Structure 1
């Protein structure tokens, strides 16, 4: 009996540290890459990605959409994390979507024989940054899935 009580406490403590309510100080953003399951452009699954607190005070959530033909790569993260390694972030970071900036000096004196390294960042035809900072988890998919809504309604019905 004591072991069962201990396991319940450990399980609840683990859920409490990972679960975000939206009442925390700072902005909570979805963090995932399009190669992960449930992190596509229109099929974002909130059950897999609970969100992450952004490290900076006045941070923004970013959804980075890169397209080449029919291939789409989506990256969701905080702006402070993307600024460390992306040089094509647009200067206008207000709410909304904007095309990436063009850096003409990027990879100017690099003569790389391996195309997959992509030093000049010209693999994708279209790169778009979508910024938001007015609400938690604002860099998710456009709408909730019907399965998530039905599961929430069933849970509410069970509680009542």
Structure 2
């Protein structure tokens, strides 16, 4: 039984740990002739700040797009990297959390493999991606590499 991989999903948050996860995702994609989808997961503090009007959503989008452009540059020729941004938390949806957002995105992009960082947002409350990694490892139907 061989593993077929067309799309590798890698959740990121702007940290060095997420850059490391992208490096692994790109290596996996290169090995299997796959594409990479980077999902930038916004943490609770940023989400609440946007909802409260303390931070302009356009500024957050610009910052995340800058980071996403930097990680796209990590991919060698032949590995396509696309991206999206998602709120990891919601002030109106009780069941929205980073793990569920990642798994929903995996379904949306038809990911065959996930590479997820174990470390969270820059000291943000709750280590978002660390907790998401635990959730994803428990509930993903795809193979998962936690780095």
TM-score under structure 1 length normalisation: 0.20
* Larger helix fraction of residues: 2
Greater relative contact order (CA < 8 Å, ≥ 6 in sequence): 2
Give the structure with higher Rg (CA). Answer: 1
TM-score under structure 2 length normalisation: 0.21
